[in-house]
Amino acid sequence: MEWYLTVLKKYAVFSGRARRKEYWMFALFNIIASVVLGVVDGVLGTAFLGIIYSLAVLIPSIAVSVRRLHDTDRSGWWILIGFVPIVGIIVLLVFTLLDSKEDNRFGPNPKLAEA
């Protein structure tokens, strides 16, 4: 939960770097929240809770994705490759799974900063 809140505190911070753990824990909590809200929407017969949540976490999701790309020493503009069907999603998945690079143009290695 700490990693989820960390991303929300950096709501629109597109500079710096994000570790794999920060990115994937945020993704995990997003999936859990979306499923729970989907069930609640289904029970209530509405569709607005999921939509409101998705809109609320849109900017933080993009920001943490850009910071994750920075951690692998790639420009945040690589996120646009996700618009290419299938191949773009696979490329982004591979980039987010890669390990952190040493100190790069986007800042010091966040793994070493926490140690």
Write out the chain's pLDDT in tens, 115 residues: 888 999 999 999 999 999 999 999 999 999 999 999 999 999 999 989 999 999 999 999 999 999 999 999 999 999 999 999 999 999 999 999 999 888 889 988 888 766 5
How many CB atoms lie under 10 A from the CB of residue 90?
12
pLDDT at 114: 67
Residue 115 pLDDT: 56
Q: Is the pTM of the predicted complex or chain greater than 0.85?
A: yes
Query: What burial class does residue 31 get, using C-beta atoms within 10 Å of its C-beta: 0-12 exposed, 13-18 middle, 19+ buried?
Result: exposed
Other C-beta atoms within 10 Å of 38: how many?
Answer: 14
